[in-house]
Structure 1
Amino acid sequence: MNRQESLIVRCVRLVLNVFFTKTLVRFIFYKFYCYFNQHKMSVLAAFCLPFLLLFSSLFFKLNNNNKRRIKARLRQLYPHITAPLITPSNSIRVLLQSIYLVFFKSTKDSHIIITKHKSNALKQLKKSIRLIRLVDQKLLRTFKRIWSSARLSTTNHTYQRFSGAEIWQSRLLHIAFYCALGLAVVIFVTVPFSTTAQAIFISLILLVAYSLRRVKGQMATITMITLAVTTSTRYLWWRYTDTLNWNDPLALSLGIGLLLAETYAWIVLILGFFQTINPLERKPIPLAKDTSTWPTVDVYIPTYNEPLSVVKSTAIAAQSIDWPADKLNVYILDDGNRSEFAQFAKTIGVGYITRTDNKHAKAGNMNHAMTVTDGEYIAIFDCDHIPVRSFLQMTMGQFINDSKVCLVQTPHHFFSADPFERNLKNHRQIPNENMLFYGLIQDGNDMWDATFFCGSCAVLKRQALDDIGGFAVETVTEDAHTALRMQRAGYKTSYINIPQAAGLATESLSAHIGQRIRWARGMAQIFRLDNPLLGKGLNIAQRLCYLNAMLHFLSGIPRIVFLTAPLALIYFDAYIIYAPFVAIFLYIVPTLLQVKITNSRIQGKYRYSFWGEVYESVLAWYILKPTTVALFNPNKGKFNVTEKGGLNNTARYDWLISKPYIFLLLLNVIGMGYAVIRLLFGETTQIGVLLISMLWASYNIMILGAAVAVAAEAKQIRSSHRVKADFPGAIRLSNGRTIKVKITDYSDNGVGIETAHHHVSRVNDKVELLMSRGKKQYSFATFVCNTRDTQMGLTLRDLDLEKQKAFIQCTFSRADAWLEWQENFKHDKPSYSFSKVFYTSLRGFNNLIFHAPNELKPVIYFITRVINYLASLLPKKPNEVFKPS
């Protein structure tokens, strides 16, 4: 039978090739064009043309140049179309790729060129796209002209006289302005729109925001924030007034849960905009040249169970800080009461303080040290944070300049990869979880005099600590609570966003989560015991900054709600958003796009789009319980020390940590399968809402897949962490020859160098390494451990204490050691970030297969095949080179 069918097809193909000519083919396409043009279906024509070309290729042999050009062009524009051509999968691929080519590609190679007689419908579509781009460019030029003219007008004499008029100081005028602004917002938020009006309204806002994203300056940022606040508030108003299903108890209860989660997200969004709308970017204040006027400083290095190898570098670097020796005292605060630490402190000449108990953990340790030291200021470093020599000169000027300053905080910088960076292999490619806080939020807090004390890399004024009774001991986050108390007492805080120390990130995902659990519990305890919204001493801005910090750690329940919300309709047929499909689409999708565009502009260098959801999803389940318990019983829970300096010497998958993500992932994957069945065999009236739920569930699967990928602990090859570097040095060979080199990386026991010549030395050769600190030059005995072209690896051996100090001063303690790290990241591109998260999610599924027990591998393999198949349907970038065969 199959042979007969094949024979029939070949006969039909022969007949068509004999009797039908190119003229008839053109005539068929012309008829299709007339039909589509008559019915105003230009876009549909653009989608259908690839299908028609593919279909016609079945019957017409491409034996002339024009047809070959068509075939080559299609092969270029649709690179992922597989054989055989006519399949359901290829139909979906062609449709999605056509949408991608028509709406998202801007290069001329991406447009569909059929022949000289191509369709006028496509010409009209291209004209429409060009018109949209032209409007976008004109808006961009207009906005740039507005902002530039506004900046120029501020220097105009008339403008200055006008802006300095007394009328602008009128309290009544201020009240009238804010009332008018509030009325305008209320109108835009609450006035009901028809579907058409909402579509026009949100399209205009998106067009303005899309054009503004490339305009430099704060006014453009404020405008985008205003638009984002308007659209998100309008969405929330619509949700409260029009989308609750009061006739279905299950849908109502689940819908209210989602609405509360969305309300939480809206509050955090608004507070985040307020917090970061105008980062201060404070600069260091120079000190007086007369060092005799400089104050005395005590350096505290608290430690409990960390190994001596971790503490050693920090203590030596603290001794090397550029400060008068008679005004600088370094102390190791050992709560572990270990004899080897006491001996080390005595050997290098620093103080050693211990106590008989461990009451109140780190806060109690530092309070005890305050009773036996007397410096005017206290600098604090976690035992793994190695300070650079310029630390005090970069921070102490703030205290000298203003006697009310009680705290100067600098960023926590990490030279080792955290679990996200190491396990996902994106170290120094994507900003880590901490960068948003230390790169942007703390600068925003500083603008509102609400800088947080972060427990390390900071200097505090002893008098301010004495006034509040020492470091706070009531919560497990003694740092933030201490800053809050000093601010309540009327003191000021400052933030210098220049890395002046670097340390070790958490070594494993479990340790990372344990650290975040402590932070979350502590912030919830502060919320209960010393709520910044209540009590005296804080202004409104300070209260809002602290509120946002505390709400951030209450994200556990809302995040789990978002990860499961689309399953309500899929599993239980519960309409948690009780509205027509078109209304849901017009309110949700544009609002999310608007918020993403705005956040990308504000946070672009410090947090890439979509990665925040991955971080929150990893932590959500684990911070849910401690924060809830702390809200009801704030005295429950104890301080847990984050382990540092460990070595993960085996690659493994942390099944215990990943259980919650895998469970949520299975719920969404099974829900997607069930949704497909309902889509094929269910009621046609539910297709729209089912598609939205499936789209949402697909996004959740992507986020959870990335969360699953983080749990695959990568093997740590080196026992010591390598730090990238780029500064000059030299080596002296055994024959006395000295060669200039570039230091490319270093660790506490080795150095990587680059020379100008090949094969300068061989493995195991003894080489003298020359490095400088200021005008002083030091030499270190090393051995060549590996060579490759112009690259060499040197190992340090048998360094005495003085040589160890000198090596740390020349490497980790360099004043410019960490200045370039924050500049390595380009501005966020949401499409790029989405693709990175998507492929990270695929890696998560592959990790599950690789590490899964043999009994579960078939099931996980099937799920992964489904995910990979769905990924194969997505649009692909066209091939760059077009060469017709």
Structure 2
Amino acid sequence: MQVAHPARLRSWLRGAFLRPSPSEAVTIATDEIAELPHRLAAHFGIAAGAGWQAWLSALFFVPPAQRAAHASNFRPARFAVHTTFRSLDLLIRLVLTLFGQLIAFTQRATDFLSARLPDLDFLQLERRLDRLASSDLLALPAVRWATLALALAMFAIVCTTPFSLQAQLVFLLAMWLAALIVRRVMGNMSKLILIALSLMASARYAWWRLTSTLDLETGWETFFAALLLLAEAYTWIILLFGYIQTAWPLKRPVTRLAGERSDYPTVDVYIPTYNEPLSVVRPTVLAARSMDWPADKLRIHLLDDGRRDAFRAFAAEAGIGYLTRPDNRHAKAGNLNHALAVTSGEYVAIFDCDHLPTSSFLHECMGWFQRDSQCAMLQTPHHFFSPDPFERNLSTFRRVPNEGALFYGLIQDTNDLWNATYFCGSCAIIKRKPLEQIGGIAVETVTEDAHTALKLHRLGYTTAYINTPLAAGLATESLSSHIGQRIRWARGMAQIFRIDNPFLGKGLSFFQRICYGNAMLHFFYGIPRLIFLTAPLAYLFFELHVINAAAGMIALYVLPHIVMSNLANAHIQGQYRHSFWAEVYETVLAWYIALPTTIAMFKPSAGSFNVTSKGGLIEKTYFDWHISRPYLLLIVLNFAGLAAGLLRLFYFNSHEAGTVLLNMVWTLYNFLMLGVAVGVATETRQVRSAHRVASRLPAALHLPDSTTVPCFTQDYSMNGLGLEISDQHALALGMEVQVSLWNGLREHRFPARVVVRNTGTVGLQFAPLDVQAQADLVQCTFARPEAWRGWKDDQDVDRPMQGLHEIFTLGVAGYRKLLHMLADGWTRRKAGMRARFARKASR
């Protein structure tokens, strides 16, 4: 074939598929065609007359020296998989060895510096940095502006100065060592230093990418390079905004109400519901009824958009209000607005139907409305006592922070510093007058909560956030439900960005715009994440260079950006989000939110409100093939990319081994992330009708012979208890007993029977309880003022390298689950085929 321009893809396509002109036709000697198979057979050591299996083995899998050893047990598919995974294993070991040596070198260098600074008191250094930040000199506007100008000038010089390969390596090691020392210092100043170092490394990388890597040769390379650059630019913006949103949390304390109880304001409690079962709604109603507030000042309303007779009867039995409406227009927002029109409390407390408030909720929240007359809304965290699909399917519950921990633990707290706390739809209190002033709960988008807060802030009202869990609820039960909920959030935030953009319009401060803008831009990660999951395949499949630079230079520019951002984020948010877990969440959700967010930008009215199901059961472990289709497609592509990379590394592109290895390492990282995704898609059993909360509370077991046994709870639910008890007491299965729990100093007894007896523990199932007994049980367990404090004390400490190792382990485990499910499916399919053949034969 004659190709006019070998570097251009269209020249190859033209030569391969279009008929050449007579002047371009090339005559090929037939003897050359006949001789070619013999030449190839001699080159690969294939005997004359060998079958296609020998050719397949020689070309792709088994080296000639090993072919004879495997001749007696030859299975091409088995050897293909074995050889590919063996090659990948060697590659992984090589990468981890090199990375481990780099880590060891850095650790030795850090220890070397630490040994020569034996008298450095990090606590004293922290205090000095904080005093410097609050000094009178820096409080002067002229000094601040001069310091800022000097810092920006130095920052620009460092970021734009070109370095050689060796100088860039020294820069990487110097910044790494500086970060490892600074991160030992606690306090906000050390956070700011790490943020500055991270932004410096990222800005150097961004400048280098924009000025030195875009000189590409072909149209296809330019196209893919532009996609990658846009995805990277998105991450740079999110990184900068994220630092602003997490650098300095306010940590607002609880303020108690002053004055007599008779002067307390009136509060309406709204509990909206649509299709949730009564078993989920009942505990929330009983917990709300037990809140410590004057009875004549508290009115509880069950807002039932399902219009169910059983709920009406329960509301009457529980002594609360029951509200319905003729239609379900505007979903939850419309339900709340209807209740707002027929009630009259000065304040409105809103709880999702599965969020149980503690008895102290109102007492700990209402004080800030008294202290700040402009405060229109106060939000508390959404805490979940059941595992979400990530926590349950990956076995990380209460060990690794969940997906929402970063938002409720840190981001909202820092938003509070800038008066940008969002309303999150539940576990919040809103003042009626400002809410009516903006026309009630926003109905223009499917995320009515955040849009409502934005409208309040545009009118100049303040909001508050108390970072103490004062209510708890159920997490999503399955990955499909979880994805559906996130799709709604993503669509809603994109709708707000389109129709009420926080960067436009009046009423918001600069930092309020940043906080709201980042919250909305965050949900546009779908397309960038998909680009990152497939970008290295452009080279591995088609040899397209999307970054025009040597592999060594790419690594030495991108590594400071990645390493410094990970070290900074681990220091700032490690308590709330472990390293590399953001990529896990984005990998699982990216495919599903990419299209809704894109559509919402062009057609904001598209889409509808979908209710997140709660309280379901998963009777047996299964693999969600429907949800996993995009993961499986990406796995196949990345696996094929790794296989192509091996061929390029050893045969086709051995002259640029560094570029091949760099793209293979990137692909391998994506491959591991996708392994974690399929691990999440393997739904594990959840057969309890009521979730149990692990908690050690004082209890007493009353036996039929009037013996009272002091003990402690191991866990509790609305259906039963687990107790820690000595083995000296004879407890038979089915024995009817009574168990005492305490609400403060008040003792409450509950009838139960023994259903489980193990060494040192006993499981009890409650007898049927009336409404008052259920309310007493809720007060002794879920609604205790301190019920959810200290919940995160047992979580693992974030260490970036340990986090990377955990992702590696979970990725491998995900593929094991996938292979196990494939094997089970194949076994069942073969059994079904045999059964059908047997039935046909019997006829």
Matched, 1:481 2:451: yes
Whichever residue aligns with residue 493 of structure 1, its letter is T
User: Residues 654 and 344 from structure 1, CA distance in 2 versus in 1: closer, same or farther, beyond 3 angstroms?
Assistant: same
Offset, 1:402 = 0.7
**Match in the other structure for 1:348:** 318
**Match in the other structure for 1:610:** 580
Residues 255-294 of structure 1 aligned to structure 2 (within 5 Å)? 255-288=225-258, 290-294=260-264
2:113 maps to which of 99, 118, 135: 135
Separation (CA, whole Å) in 1 of partners of 2:520 and 2:635: 28
**Match in the other structure for 2:675:** 705
Matched, 1:588 2:555: no
Offset, 1:716 = 1.1
TM-score by length of 1: 0.81
Offset, 1:151 = 5.6
Structure 1, residues 531-590: CA drift from partner, whole Å, max 9, x if none? 111111110000000111011100000000100111111111111110012211111123
Offset, 1:89 = 10
Offset, 1:204 = 0.9
Deviates more, 1:845-854 or 1:299-308: 845-854
User: Residues 557 and 220 from structure 1, CA distance in 2 versus in 1: closer, same or farther, beyond 3 angstroms?
Assistant: same
Separation (CA, whole Å) in 2 of partners of 1:614 and 1:740: 45
User: Residues 337 and 595 from structure 1, CA distance in 2 versus in 1: closer, same or farther, beyond 3 angstroms?
Assistant: same
User: Residues 762 and 533 from structure 1, CA distance in 2 versus in 1: closer, same or farther, beyond 3 angstroms?
Assistant: same
Offset, 1:824 = 2.4
Structure 1, residues 233-276: CA drift from partner, whole Å, max 9, x if none? 11011001000133221111111110111110011011111101
**Match in the other structure for 2:536:** 566
**Match in the other structure for 1:306:** 276
Separation (CA, whole Å) in 1 of partners of 2:262 and 2:625: 59
- Give the alignment's Cα RMSD to 1 decimal: 2.3
Separation (CA, whole Å) in 1 of partners of 2:818 and 2:228: 30
User: Residues 138 and 629 from structure 1, CA distance in 2 versus in 1: closer, same or farther, beyond 3 angstroms?
Assistant: farther
Q: Secondary structure at the match of 1:726?
A: coil
Offset, 1:503 = 0.8
**Match in the other structure for 2:28:** none
Whichever residue aligns with residue 556 of structure 2, its letter is L
Contact residue 357 and residue 470 of structure 2 kept, 8 A: yes
Offset, 1:502 = 0.9
Structure 1, residues 506-549: CA drift from partner, whole Å, max 9, x if none? 11111100000000000000001111111111100000001110
**Match in the other structure for 2:417:** 447
Residues 839-850 of structure 1 aligned to structure 2 (within 5 Å)? 839-850=809-820
Structure 1, residues 677-735: CA drift from partner, whole Å, max 9, x if none? 11111233311111100000000000011011111111113221111111111111111
Which blocks of at least 5 consecutive residues in structure 2 are unaligned?
1-85, 829-843
User: Residues 131 and 447 from structure 1, CA distance in 2 versus in 1: closer, same or farther, beyond 3 angstroms?
Assistant: closer
**Match in the other structure for 2:8:** none
Structure 1, residues 831-860: CA drift from partner, whole Å, max 9, x if none? 2211221121112212222222779799xx
Whichever residue aligns with residue 554 of structure 1, its letter is F
Separation (CA, whole Å) in 2 of partners of 1:273 and 1:700: 25
**Match in the other structure for 2:217:** 247
Q: Secondary structure at the match of 1:839?
A: helix
Separation (CA, whole Å) in 2 of partners of 1:234 and 1:418: 39
Residues 715-864 of structure 1 aligned to structure 2 (within 5 Å)? 715-852=685-822
Separation (CA, whole Å) in 2 of partners of 1:194 and 1:685: 22
Q: Secondary structure at the match of 1:770?
A: strand
- Identical columns (%): 47
**Match in the other structure for 2:332:** 362
Matched, 1:336 2:293: no
Contact residue 123 and residue 186 of structure 2 kept, 8 A: no
Contact residue 254 and residue 576 of structure 1 kept, 8 A: yes
Separation (CA, whole Å) in 2 of partners of 1:332 and 1:532: 34
**Match in the other structure for 1:150:** 128
Q: Secondary structure at the match of 1:474?
A: coil
Matched, 1:555 2:525: yes
Whichever residue aligns with residue 772 of structure 1, its letter is W
Structure 1, residues 307-363: CA drift from partner, whole Å, max 9, x if none? 111111111111100000000000000111111111111111000000001111111
User: Residues 244 and 152 from structure 1, CA distance in 2 versus in 1: closer, same or farther, beyond 3 angstroms?
Assistant: closer
**Match in the other structure for 1:579:** 549
User: Residues 855 and 139 from structure 1, CA distance in 2 versus in 1: closer, same or farther, beyond 3 angstroms?
Assistant: same
Contact residue 172 and residue 559 of structure 2 kept, 8 A: no
TM-score by length of 2: 0.85
Contact residue 140 and residue 215 of structure 1 kept, 8 A: no
User: Residues 505 and 396 from structure 1, CA distance in 2 versus in 1: closer, same or farther, beyond 3 angstroms?
Assistant: same
Whichever residue aligns with residue 792 of structure 2, its letter is Q
**Match in the other structure for 1:201:** 171
Offset, 1:138 = 4.1
Q: Secondary structure at the match of 1:511?
A: helix
Residues 540-551 of structure 1 aligned to structure 2 (within 5 Å)? 540-551=510-521
**Match in the other structure for 2:6:** none
Separation (CA, whole Å) in 1 of partners of 2:215 and 2:223: 9
**Match in the other structure for 2:184:** 214
Separation (CA, whole Å) in 1 of partners of 2:648 and 2:783: 63
**Match in the other structure for 2:362:** 392
Whichever residue aligns with residue 486 of structure 1, its letter is L
Whichever residue aligns with residue 446 of structure 1, its letter is D
Deviates more, 1:227-236 or 1:583-592: 583-592
User: Residues 190 and 846 from structure 1, CA distance in 2 versus in 1: closer, same or farther, beyond 3 angstroms?
Assistant: same
Whichever residue aligns with residue 522 of structure 1, its letter is G
Separation (CA, whole Å) in 2 of partners of 1:430 and 1:624: 27
Contact residue 245 and residue 575 of structure 1 kept, 8 A: no
Offset, 1:764 = 1.2
User: Residues 582 and 152 from structure 1, CA distance in 2 versus in 1: closer, same or farther, beyond 3 angstroms?
Assistant: closer
Contact residue 758 and residue 789 of structure 1 kept, 8 A: no
Separation (CA, whole Å) in 2 of partners of 1:98 and 1:631: 46
Contact residue 728 and residue 743 of structure 1 kept, 8 A: yes
Contact residue 419 and residue 464 of structure 2 kept, 8 A: yes
Offset, 1:141 = 5.8
Contact residue 126 and residue 187 of structure 2 kept, 8 A: no
Contact residue 348 and residue 431 of structure 2 kept, 8 A: yes
Whichever residue aligns with residue 133 of structure 1, its letter is D
Separation (CA, whole Å) in 2 of partners of 1:91 and 1:332: 61
Whichever residue aligns with residue 253 of structure 1, its letter is F
**Match in the other structure for 1:67:** none
**Match in the other structure for 1:620:** 590
User: Residues 423 and 140 from structure 1, CA distance in 2 versus in 1: closer, same or farther, beyond 3 angstroms?
Assistant: farther
User: Residues 544 and 797 from structure 1, CA distance in 2 versus in 1: closer, same or farther, beyond 3 angstroms?
Assistant: same
Separation (CA, whole Å) in 1 of partners of 2:213 and 2:119: 40
Matched, 1:692 2:662: yes
Structure 1, residues 35-86: CA drift from partner, whole Å, max 9, x if none? xxxxxxxxxxxxxxxxxxxxxxxxxxxxxxxxxxxxxxxxxxxxxxxxxxxx
**Match in the other structure for 2:494:** 524
Offset, 1:425 = 1.7
Separation (CA, whole Å) in 2 of partners of 1:767 and 1:510: 41
Structure 1, residues 486-512: CA drift from partner, whole Å, max 9, x if none? 011111111111111111111111110
Whichever residue aligns with residue 341 of structure 1, its letter is F
Offset, 1:652 = 1.3
Whichever residue aligns with residue 584 of structure 1, its letter is I
Q: Secondary structure at the match of 1:257?
A: helix
Separation (CA, whole Å) in 2 of partners of 1:539 and 1:715: 48
Deviates more, 1:254-263 or 1:756-765: 756-765
**Match in the other structure for 2:297:** 327
1:375 maps to which of 335, 345, 349: 345
Deviates more, 1:308-317 or 1:245-254: 245-254
User: Residues 679 and 857 from structure 1, CA distance in 2 versus in 1: closer, same or farther, beyond 3 angstroms?
Assistant: farther
Contact residue 122 and residue 184 of structure 2 kept, 8 A: no
Separation (CA, whole Å) in 2 of partners of 1:825 and 1:762: 37
Offset, 1:742 = 0.5
Deviates more, 1:193-202 or 1:581-590: 193-202
Q: Secondary structure at the match of 2:366?
A: helix
Whichever residue aligns with residue 159 of structure 2, its letter is V
Q: Secondary structure at the match of 1:822?
A: coil
**Match in the other structure for 2:430:** 460
1:428 maps to which of 390, 398, 401: 398
Contact residue 408 and residue 496 of structure 1 kept, 8 A: yes
Whichever residue aligns with residue 830 of structure 1, its letter is P
Separation (CA, whole Å) in 2 of partners of 1:797 and 1:612: 44
Offset, 1:164 = 3.5
